[in-house]
Structure formats: structure tokens, C-alpha cells
Amino acid sequence: MRLPDSVEHLYLDFDGFFASVEQLRDPSLRGRPVGVIPYEGGRTCIIACSREAKARGVKNIMMVDEARRLCRDLVLVPQKPDLYRRAHNALVSEIGSVVPVDQVKSIDELSCRLDERQRSDPARVAADIKQAIRYNIGATVTCSIGFAANRHLAKIAGGTGKPDGLTIWHPSLMPGPLLRVPLEDIPGIGSRMGKRLALAGIASTADLLATQPKQMRALWRNVTGERLWYALHGYAVEAPPTERGMFGHARVLPPDARTLTDARTISRLLLTKAARRVRRAGYYAASLMLWLQCFDRSWFDTLTLPQVNDDQAFLTGLATLWERVNAAVAPKSRVLRVGVTLGDLTPADSRQLDFLLNDDTERQKWERLGMALDRLNLKYGKTVASVGFWQPPPGGNVGGKISFTRIPTAEDFW
């Protein structure tokens, strides 16, 4: 495995992305502590907060009541996912004008590979990126940038200089800077893994670096641990490409819509959005999962389907799952969150029909109808036709909510 002798990767992480975009949109919010929330009213939590709020002790996923006690002048702003999607696209374009973007890791993180010229002066690359963002997007949006021999080390480096930082870990300096990073701040080491490492006598980053590759593999119980060992030691490690496993959507219900009836209505809209994504991506799905998070318990179940991608098949399956909900969950249960997932995916060009299921003619009719509805919605840029009713709940954002791991498309907001 190759051991680079120069910085080859850049990792960029935007600071308080959603809150900083809100400050960019509304000048009156600039310099003030801002917390982004899912919806107005009721008991909710902070999805994201600005650097001013973080300086006062406010954290992401903190309940609003607690955040208010820490920061009495906290300004709460309801989420605007489509605004963040457009901001993300604009920022990626600006960064791409300085250095080609290699991978978009999430809506607020990305990585780049450096060419020979850029490797010789990474500080200049970072300055050019920050200048492009400041003058072409806005000064409220800042980012922390890390440079290192591989992507994993660059990510760790960038996290040590927040906010608005620049950290360069040249291979000749390693592992010195890494030894100062707490074990829990290394990506890939969560609380559960931290306990497993502690049982193995590994209590610090220095202890981790002193292990052997096969020992790391045994601790992680798969090749991920061995791959992490090589990444932390500066080798040019590339993660294998991942395959799409499922399409799903979930939504926290507002306080005045937390009944089973409301949850069923929302789940129908979420499923329709997920079905549209399945078709756009060129897949068929053979399983449907519905899950509910109630205040007193959680419930989930999965239904096996033929390989389908049309709304009628999915909605019929959803109705079956809701019959099971009604039989298992108390009628007056309060539902906090509802979600649907379409899984067991098959690429459209690999679909195999079930010869025991003689409904191919009927299925093709529904598939043709689905494609016709998709074309109509695409033409008008919104939902003008659907199978059954289409009435998004107050606040909208069905299928187009804030997502740190997936970049929504314009179609998600129709």
C-alpha cells in the first residue's frame, strides 16, 4: 500500500451550516445566536445552531427549553430545507472553481484531491476557497479545512481548527498532531466502540496507533478496523464504493398532529415521495417497512412485495401494514415520529418477475400510469397529479427535510 510523502487530500466542513445560511438570508440574524428548529410551536429541539449560540453552550439536538436557559436571547428559526439545498449547490460550485470536488460526503462536508501544484501550497488553496465563499456567497458562511495525506486524516485535521480554521498535517509531522486528538474525536469510534477499545486496554489515540492492523480488524470484527489502521498511519486508503440499499423518509409530527390518523396520512405522503425516488434512480423494491415512534413504545414491521416501483403496489402494501398497526397499537397512542423504507432493491435492468404471480399485465398498467404522473410533475415542477389525495401537512417538507447524509434534489420538494 502506498505511503504518500505530501498532503494529497483536502477535507472541508462548513461551520454551523444551516444556521449560517439563515444568517446569510436574513441580515437581522447576523451576529446573533440562532437555533434552527423543525417547526414553530410545541416542544421541540435545536437541529442546528450558529457559532454565537454554540459559544453560549447551545448544542445541536438540544431541547429548546434547555437551550433557552443557556441563551435567553436565542433566536429560533424554522427549517428551510430547500434553501439549504440551493446554498449547498452554490457552495460546491464555488469550491469547484478553485479545486475539483472529489466527493460530497454530506450536505455540509466534502473532500477534494490535490494536484501536484496544489500540494506544494495547500494554504494558498484554502485561502482561495475561503475568499471565493466570502465574496461570491457571503461572509456569514465559513468553513474549516484540513489537509493531510489521506481523506480520513484530513477530516480529523479539519475538526481540530473549528470554526473557520485551517489545519495542515504534512506527513513529515505525523503522528505528532494526531496524538493530541482525543480518541472519541476520531471518525469511526463511537461510544460503543470506545467501550470495546477500553476493554482491550486502549484508552488514548497513542494506544490505538500502537496496535497492529490485524488487531484493529479483530476489534472492529471486520475489515473496517484494519482499513482505519492504515488511514491513521498515513497510507493512501480508499474506501470501497457503496451500493444503494434502500430509499426512505421519516418525519417528526407537529404537536397538534400526533394521532395514528395523522401518522397514517403523513406516511402515505412519505411513501409516495420514496416511490418517486426509486423510479428516478432506476430501481424496483421488494420490501416495505413502516415504523412508528410513540411516546410509550416503538413499533415497526416489514412487508415483502414483488419487485415493484409503482405507487399502487406500495400504497396497497402500506394499507396492509396499517392494519397491523391498528391491531397492535392502542388507538389513542401519541405518535412522535413516523417513517417508511423501501428496500431489497433491484436495478430496473435486472428485474425478474415472479412466475407464480400472474399480475404482470395489471402491474404494467400501473407502472405506465406512474411514469405518466412523473412526467406531468416534472413538466410543471410540482405535484399536480398523484395516486390519491395530495395534501402536505402544515410546514411542508415531506420528503425534503434537512438531511446531513443525503443531498435533497429539487424534486424532493414537489
Q: How far is CA 35 from CA 47, 71, 99, 373, in A?
A: 7, 10, 32, 38
176-242: CATH topology is DNA polymerase; domain 1 (1.10.150)
Predicted TM-score (pTM) of the model is 0.80
The confidence score (pLDDT) of residue 404 equals 60
Decide if pLDDT at 295 tops 70: yes
End-to-end CA distance of the chain: 47
Hey, which CATH number is domain 246-413, 3.40.50.920, 1.10.1330.10, 3.30.1490.100, 2.60.120.10?
A: 3.30.1490.100
pLDDT at 8 over 90: yes
Q: What secondary structure does DSSP assign to 131-154, as a single string?
A: HHHHHHT-TT--EEEEEESSHHHH
C-alpha–C-alpha distance, residues 124 and 129, integer Å? 9
DSSP at 410: G
pLDDT band at 384, cuts 50/70/90? confident
H helices of 233-293, in order, are 260-281
| CATH class of the domain defined by 1-174 | alpha beta
Cell of 325: 398497526
Q: Is the pLDDT of residue 32 over 90?
A: yes
Return the residue matching grid coordinates 443557556. Answer: 70
pLDDT at 66: 93
Residue 91 has pLDDT above 90, yes or no: yes
Every domain of the chain and the residues it spans? 1-174, 176-242, 246-413
Q: What is the pLDDT of residues 193-216, one digit of tens each?
A: 999 999 999 999 999 999 999 999
Read off the pLDDT band of 42 (50, 70, 90): low
* C-alpha cell of residue 365: 398498467
Of residues 410 and 22, more confidence is placed in 22
> What grid cell was written down for 91?
457552495
pLDDT reported for residue 409: 75
1: cell is: 500500500
Q: Specify whether the CB–CB gap between 129 and 214 falls below 8 A.
A: no
394 has a pLDDT exceeding 70:
no
Residue 244 has pLDDT above 80, yes or no: no
Nearest alpha-carbon partner for 50 in 38, 59, 41: 59
Pairing of strands 143-148, 9-14: antiparallel
